[in-house]
Structure 1
Amino acid sequence: MPKIRFKRRLAALAVGVLLAALPMTATSAQAAGGSEPAVPTAQGFVASGKPTCSTDSSAPTLLGDTTPDLTAVVHLAAGGSPSGYLRAHFDVQARAADQTWNEKESELVPSSGFVTDGQVVTTSVRDPLTEGTLYRMAASTWSYATDGTEYVSSPSTASTSGWCYFTVDPTGPLAPVVTSGGPYTLCTADDCAAHGGPGVPGTFTFAPGEGDSGVVAYQYRFADSAWAQVSGSPATVTLTPRDSGQPLLVVQAQDATGGWGAQTQVFFKVAPPAPSVGLWHFDHGQPGDTSTAASDTATGAGDRHAAALSGTGADWTALGRRGDGDQALTLDGSAGYAATSGPVLDPAASFAVSAWVFPTDLAQDRTVLSQTGDDGSGFALRYAAGDRTWQFSYAWNDSAGTRHVAYAEAPGGADHVWTQLAGAYDSAAHTLTLYVNGRPQGSPVALPDAATARTASGDLEFGRAATADGAGSSAGYWKGLLDEVQVWQRTLSASEALQDAKLESPDNGWPGVANVAAWNASGAGGATLPDTSGYGHTLTTEGGALLDGNAIVLDGTDGAASTPGTVVDDTGSFTVTALVQPDMSVISGKPDGWTAQVVGQRSADGSAWGIWYRVAGHDDDYDPGADDPAPVPATEWLFGRVGTDGAFTGAVSQEVTIWTPGTADNPVQVTGVFDAQAGTASLYTGSDEQGTVPFTPVPGSGDLTVGKADLDGTGGSYFPGRVTSLGLWAGAMGSNGISGLNG
């Protein structure tokens, strides 16, 4: 713990003047009966709701009072006296014309007596502040010895949460009055009840401050969004919070001259998002048992809706998206589907859907999930083969009975990989949003105000959609696997869609990972190495590569192995690992910067991703049998991509191996993790994390290769060494899983 310094308060000094300091250790402070203070919280300016504080100097809080009230909550450090002898120290500074900051006022509160841990302290600025000047305020906690003669100060809020920037304007409109028309209620000092939820709109009315006149308009915003304006006074607006919690709403009034007045800042509490009204894990049956329906395990409002499997073309499979022990729904693409008995969602109101998909054939239109009324209105989450796009469609009929369809869409991905899709309809904003692997695909698609599907709708169908002619026929049968389907009777925020795509376990929070490729060369010979994951990605050797019964042996010249097509969705989270042993008899002669790929997948402009081995440089090593030092290579591991220009982006091992004579050439478990939701690439050797860096995915378009990289379509970057085993997973494996790879 750093040393603390106590300060002696000189009685002759007036309150508000900085006090002389007398050094004192923490031990001495405790002996004197004092306690270590902590940084204050809730610092800012007294307004309705919570204290207001803008830490952005370019967007200061505007106050209508030239002697504003300052506030903070003082604290003791953990383990301190339960009471304490505390005061708050407020520091106000003004920015000069030369952009320097000068002391304007220093307040010690209370001026006599003390407060205790967790108490709110408030004071007013003594001397009126000047309009047009930028000010800033910070606070610290001062803890006194029991005799009140010595104290120790906590760090200032300026060094933790930041300065509170503000200006004053006593001539503009007064701070407006803000009221809520429901479902939300404004927070007070004594009550802050949660209502509504993310995506649930609420109405708010703005009116002039008491006794104010001449207000013609208002501007308002949430703390993390841009200003919006509304004309008239009073004025009512509808606002839709994106997330749960306590959003800060900032409002200003405008007069006829165009001047903006003091701000009103209010909080209201948004309830946690309503749980899904339908959730199908597809893990309740056994292969061949099509009589067992998929259970709906959602906890949201309403009845549960089991999904019955069709008599033919639908079955259960052990290849579930959550990995070992999980199951999924498998459909044949011609007759197989599952369906509830009756509608699950009201498509006239806000709703959202999500599903994990593993297509095995995208040569024709395929439907993931749909609900269609007898008038053709409703929605579908689908793949359009002609456009090669994922689509979230919404259909409705106008007053003349003409059917219309709008789409939110994104470029389609590869088949034989797990991809997460989600669609959200916001009835208040009249927009559609499509998410792929948790990421929104472009801006929301705006719909006409009259675009509303009929409330009464058909069954929720998995793997097909009713045709628009109302004849009772279906089309777009899904071929492949479906899993983890979830529906909500509300829209989804971007952060919720991102969270949903992580597929975290409700029990331990670990992300679900599915082993989609597993190769172990122990006991293998010939030219092919089977995939034991169940997904069927057989490796075939080429050139000088061979299977010697223990490993894939790569000569570094033309030896490699490959499997057709993509194995994981490069835009989604995935994990790759290899137990690999470099052949240093070959690598020792390579120049600085030489780079070879152990395993990876090609993209249109280089590699989509790969585990790489690189000669970082050479060190001189003393050899007693030689006259001069001999250069030895220093090598490092990499996880990321190399473009056709040879430039690497990704994670690099922190540790560099210098291959001095006698260095053990042991196999290394090298693991790469791409977390699509976090946008990062991580590299591990053994169980040790070597680095995590921002990483932007590039979709793969070619074979997965071992021992080489097709950077320009002709092959190259050959790796010399032995690869004992390899594995790939859909999903970002956590540290617990990575530790298990080395067990």
Structure 2
Amino acid sequence: MTGCYAPARNRTARWIAGPRGGDPLKPPVRHALVRGAIAVTLASSAVAFTPWTAAAAENRPPSQPASADLTTGSAACASGADPTYVRRQPTLSAVLSDPDGNRVSAQFEVSWTDEAGDPQVRTVETTAKSSGSSFSWTVPSEVPAFTDVSWRVRANDGTVWGPWSSDGEGRSCAFVYDDVAPAEPSVSSPEYPEYSEDDEWHDGVGTYGTFTVDSTSDDTVSYLYSFQDGGSGTVRPAEPGGPVVLTYLPQSSGIPRLTVKAIDRAGNASAPSEYLFRVREGRTPVAAWKLADAAGAGEAAAGAGGRPATAGDGVEFGAEGPARTAVTGAAGFDGTDGAYLTSGAPAADPAGAFTVSAWVRPDSLAEDLAAVSQDGGADVAAFGLGTDDGAWSFTVGDSVVRGGVPESGEWAQLTGVHDPVAGTARLYVNGRPVGTAENVTPPSTSGALQIGRSQGAASRNWHGALADVRVWDRVVVAPEAATHAKRGTASKGYWALDEATGGSSPERDGGLPLTLGGDARIYRADDSCDPGSDPDCGSAPYPIVGDGHLVLDGDGDFAAADGPVVDTGDSFSLSAHVRIDSAAQDRPMTVLSLPGEDGSVAVVRYSGASQQWQVTLTDSDGERTTLTADDSWASPDYDHHLSLVYDDAADEILLYADGTVSARASYRPGWTARTGIEVGRSRVDGGWGEYLQGVVDELHVHAGVLSPHQVTSLQLGMTDV
């Protein structure tokens, strides 16, 4: 033998069983030591001063694995006093390194005491990797459940073993394998009893309920819950196996379902516990004043609560309420000190849950205004609804929520909600949430409700109109707030475009007809010509909807209603079917436009460059905004349906293409016009242009915002939406 013996660096992985306390690798180690002794003896007598001897003397053992680099499954190394619980045999991992940068292999060891009290040890060796690599081993299936198991690891550099991770100040890691799920949890509620045990309907939407969840398994550490109509999460009991209390605010009436699972320390989930309960409609207002009293009245009749509101001398009844709502009238307020009404009593407890709402129309925004308030202590209102610092506002005590922009002469619906359980104050404007204040502390004192003014040195008397004031002693939830603010739609024009008389096509309800210009004509299907039986008949085009449609040749053809059809100062919607002629598919063409003094206020058009639908808006300063339906292809020779919707309350423009919102943008136009409507052309460079080559059918004009369902109905050819 002329050299020395060195252990193989690339061992195959193997695990060896042995009694705890002994060396699980004793036979192989013994043989290695014998061979090593021979090698050392030979080296001493033959090559005592070779470079190899110096290198061997300098070789340092691998580093001790750090506890921070050890994981049991996805969990950090845990001690035996607080072991990691796992629901399947875990994969043990460790990062091992060598100070000399040598490749290293790992040896994992797991140990436990079996049911007979005998110690059990299992080990495994891995193949070698670069220093600093991560090594892992999945514990064998013979490791029993519900048994404390410890494990440790060490590294070998091919020459010498490093220390165990448990040596010295290190420690062994511990885990318990638990494959049994906890028991199904129980649920109970004093406010909302279980459906099968109680056939009464319980209060209700906007009224909190509490649900106690408990478990008979003492290792339950959390509960996973989900309410059917919203609200889900995970909660932890104070002690394993203990109860938790869930707080829930019903969003709708019916029979919702609460589903709960118990989760144990190992992550095992119980079978789901399902709890059904009955929720009725939310309680009606505790106080209300429609303010639709007859002109000359001295007080507002109570719609709820039984207390009329006495009017000051700055209030005049008989004004019009907001259009397209169920609110039939309003009261006008002149902004003087006498512009108020008062009930003389509180309407809500500001320390509890309450909601206040009103339809409001400011006619002056020169200063902050109070629509509804309730007196508090120390010359400060307990709560208030109105305007503040140029925005709509809702105050509860010292907390203020602001959002949305008031516009002079325009109606808005305001709803302020105080939720003492969540500690919030929330403001809705026209049914949309615009802001929330957190950590709200309500006042402890309260006085009379005021309409049109607020308590304090500056009473902020309302200047404008107010209607439909309501107060609830509960939380009004978001769907309810949206419903209270809903404004309907009203047809302002419908042209079926199935016929023409004297150069115009009539409006269904006797309104302004569409005058045909250029060579524009109404095509009607002729059933007397059947291409199937008469080869000389030819192939005739078909109407998009009904018996006919408007045909435009792109060379000066159009149709127009010159008188006022659309009021752009309020929400409006335009809809029509259109088919673009493929012979003109490369040029821009207008489908619908609203003419202004110097140009078109709004244009629904076809872009020949991109073959997409667009809306172009021009504000009062001449600035243009273009929306493009990026996700909708304007295919020539195909039938399409387009709707332009302007939502004045939300300051938003939407473009529907074939029943889908394809483009939308926030937009405050800055213009107010009562205008006619143009079909097939728009203003271009001071004249008319972008003439349409194609056909148009079923033109609708609506006051108000069409809903997605209404747009779909029009797309399907329905006329009454």
TM-score, normalised relative to structure 2: 0.52
The unaligned stretches of length 5 or more in structure 1 are 1-63, 65-168, 396-404, 468-472, 504-510, 523-548, 554-560, 569-573, 619-633, 659-668, 684-688
Structure label with greater radius of gyration? 2
Distance in 1 between residues matched to 2:202 and 2:219, nearest whole Å: 34
Distance in 2 between residues matched to 1:670 and 1:251, nearest whole Å: 45
Whether 1:431 aligns to 2:424 is yes
Structure 1 position 391, deviation (Å): 1.2
More deviation, 732-741/214-223: 732-741
Q: Give 1:453's aligned amino acid.
A: P
Residue of structure 2 in register with 1:273 after alignment: 282
User: Which residue among 382, 405, 413 is the counterpart of 1:378?
Assistant: 382
Whether 1:358 aligns to 2:364 is no
- Check 1:194–1:715 CA distance in 2 against 1; reply closer, same or farther (3 A cut): farther
Determine if contact 1:307/1:339 at 8 Å carries over to the other structure: yes
Distance in 2 between residues matched to 1:562 and 1:512, nearest whole Å: 13
Distance in 2 between residues matched to 1:577 and 1:562, nearest whole Å: 9
Structure 1 position 435, deviation (Å): 0.9
Residue of structure 1 in register with 2:292 after alignment: 283
Structure 1 position 393, deviation (Å): 0.6
- Check 1:719–1:707 CA distance in 2 against 1; reply closer, same or farther (3 A cut): farther
Q: Secondary structure at the match of 1:495?
A: helix
Distance in 2 between residues matched to 1:462 and 1:651, nearest whole Å: 48
Residues 56-455 of structure 1 mapped to structure 2, 5 A cutoff: 171-180=180-189, 182-188=190-196, 191-209=198-216, 212-223=217-228, 224-230=230-236, 231-232=238-239, 233-243=241-251, 244-286=253-295, 289-291=296-298, 293-298=299-304, 303-322=305-324, 326-335=328-337, 336-375=339-378, 376-385=380-389, 388-395=390-397, 405-442=398-435, 444-448=436-440, 451-454=441-444
Q: Give 2:186's aligned amino acid.
A: V
Residue of structure 1 in register with 2:30 after alignment: none
Q: Secondary structure at the match of 2:672?
A: strand
Distance in 2 between residues matched to 1:601 and 1:551, nearest whole Å: 11
Distance in 2 between residues matched to 1:280 and 1:356, nearest whole Å: 11
Q: Secondary structure at the match of 1:261?
A: coil
Residue of structure 2 in register with 1:146 after alignment: none
Q: Give 1:246's aligned amino acid.
A: I
Q: Give 1:389's aligned amino acid.
A: A
Residue of structure 2 in register with 1:648 after alignment: 628
Q: Secondary structure at the match of 2:485?
A: helix
Structure 1 position 493, deviation (Å): 1.2
- Count of matched residue positions in the alignment of Structure 1 and Structure 2: 450
Q: Give 2:372's aligned amino acid.
A: L
Q: Give 1:445's aligned amino acid.
A: A
Distance in 2 between residues matched to 1:726 and 1:261, nearest whole Å: 57
The one-character-per-residue Cα deviations of 1:594-636 (angstroms, maximum 9, x if unpaired) are: 448723899xxx99x9453547699xxxxxxxxxxxxxxx999
Residue of structure 2 in register with 1:498 after alignment: 482
Distance in 1 between residues matched to 2:328 and 2:430, nearest whole Å: 20
Determine if contact 2:602/2:616 at 8 Å carries over to the other structure: yes
The one-character-per-residue Cα deviations of 1:311-349 (angstroms, maximum 9, x if unpaired) are: 125443135444699321111122312222311112111
Whether 1:700 aligns to 2:668 is yes
The one-character-per-residue Cα deviations of 1:414-443 (angstroms, maximum 9, x if unpaired) are: 22222221111111111111111111124x
User: Which residue among 445, 462, 471 is the counterpart of 1:487?
Assistant: 471
Distance in 2 between residues matched to 1:194 and 1:426, nearest whole Å: 23
Determine if contact 1:437/1:676 at 8 Å carries over to the other structure: yes
Determine if contact 2:592/2:605 at 8 Å carries over to the other structure: yes
Distance in 2 between residues matched to 1:732 and 1:513, nearest whole Å: 10
TM-score, normalised relative to structure 1: 0.50
Q: Secondary structure at the match of 1:465?
A: coil
Distance in 2 between residues matched to 1:593 and 1:184, nearest whole Å: 62
The one-character-per-residue Cα deviations of 1:230-255 (angstroms, maximum 9, x if unpaired) are: 33343241412231222322222233
Whether 1:575 aligns to 2:582 is no
Residue of structure 1 in register with 2:594 after alignment: 599
Q: Give 2:279's aligned amino acid.
A: V
The one-character-per-residue Cα deviations of 1:238-288 (angstroms, maximum 9, x if unpaired) are: 4122312223222222334454433322122222111122333322212xx
- Check 1:279–1:637 CA distance in 2 against 1; reply closer, same or farther (3 A cut): farther
- Check 1:463–1:600 CA distance in 2 against 1; reply closer, same or farther (3 A cut): farther
Distance in 1 between residues matched to 2:409 and 2:270, nearest whole Å: 59
- Check 1:191–1:313 CA distance in 2 against 1; reply closer, same or farther (3 A cut): closer
Q: Give 2:594's aligned amino acid.
A: V
Residues 633-712 of structure 1 mapped to structure 2, 5 A cutoff: 646-649=626-629, 672=645, 674=647, 691=659, 693=661, 696-704=664-672
Determine if contact 1:674/1:682 at 8 Å carries over to the other structure: no
Residue of structure 2 in register with 1:475 after alignment: 459
Residue of structure 1 in register with 2:562 after alignment: 551
Determine if contact 2:213/2:246 at 8 Å carries over to the other structure: no
Distance in 1 between residues matched to 2:669 and 2:653, nearest whole Å: 21
- Check 1:673–1:647 CA distance in 2 against 1; reply closer, same or farther (3 A cut): closer
Determine if contact 1:278/1:304 at 8 Å carries over to the other structure: yes
Determine if contact 1:636/1:656 at 8 Å carries over to the other structure: no
Structure 1 position 592, deviation (Å): 1.6
- Check 1:422–1:692 CA distance in 2 against 1; reply closer, same or farther (3 A cut): same
The one-character-per-residue Cα deviations of 1:123-149 (angstroms, maximum 9, x if unpaired) are: xxxxxxxxxxxxxxxxxxxxxxxxxxx
Determine if contact 2:616/2:625 at 8 Å carries over to the other structure: no
The one-character-per-residue Cα deviations of 1:348-397 (angstroms, maximum 9, x if unpaired) are: 11111222222222121111111122443511112113xx22111101xx
Determine if contact 2:206/2:250 at 8 Å carries over to the other structure: yes
Structure 1 position 593, deviation (Å): 2.2
The one-character-per-residue Cα deviations of 1:531-590 (angstroms, maximum 9, x if unpaired) are: xxxxxxxxxxxxxxxxxx99369xxxxxxx999xx723xxxxx324699xxxx9xxx999
The one-character-per-residue Cα deviations of 1:18-63 (angstroms, maximum 9, x if unpaired) are: xxxxxxxxxxxxxxxxxxxxxxxxxxxxxxxxxxxxxxxxxxxxxx
Q: Give 2:430's aligned amino acid.
A: N
Distance in 2 between residues matched to 1:268 and 1:383, nearest whole Å: 41
Distance in 2 between residues matched to 1:514 and 1:369, nearest whole Å: 34
Distance in 2 between residues matched to 1:177 and 1:306, nearest whole Å: 49
- Quote the RMSD (CA, aligned, Å): 5.3
Determine if contact 2:417/2:476 at 8 Å carries over to the other structure: yes
Distance in 2 between residues matched to 1:332 and 1:349, nearest whole Å: 33
Distance in 1 between residues matched to 2:355 and 2:630, nearest whole Å: 34
- Check 1:204–1:326 CA distance in 2 against 1; reply closer, same or farther (3 A cut): closer
Q: Give 1:185's aligned amino acid.
A: P
- Check 1:446–1:645 CA distance in 2 against 1; reply closer, same or farther (3 A cut): closer
Structure 1 position 171, deviation (Å): 0.6
Q: Give 1:446's aligned amino acid.
A: E
The unaligned stretches of length 5 or more in structure 2 are 1-86, 88-177, 493-510, 514-559, 692-698
Q: Give 1:295's aligned amino acid.
A: A
Structure 1 position 652, deviation (Å): 9.4
Residue of structure 1 in register with 2:604 after alignment: 612
Residue of structure 1 in register with 2:696 after alignment: none
Distance in 1 between residues matched to 2:417 and 2:336, nearest whole Å: 28
Q: Secondary structure at the match of 1:262?
A: coil
- Check 1:325–1:353 CA distance in 2 against 1; reply closer, same or farther (3 A cut): closer
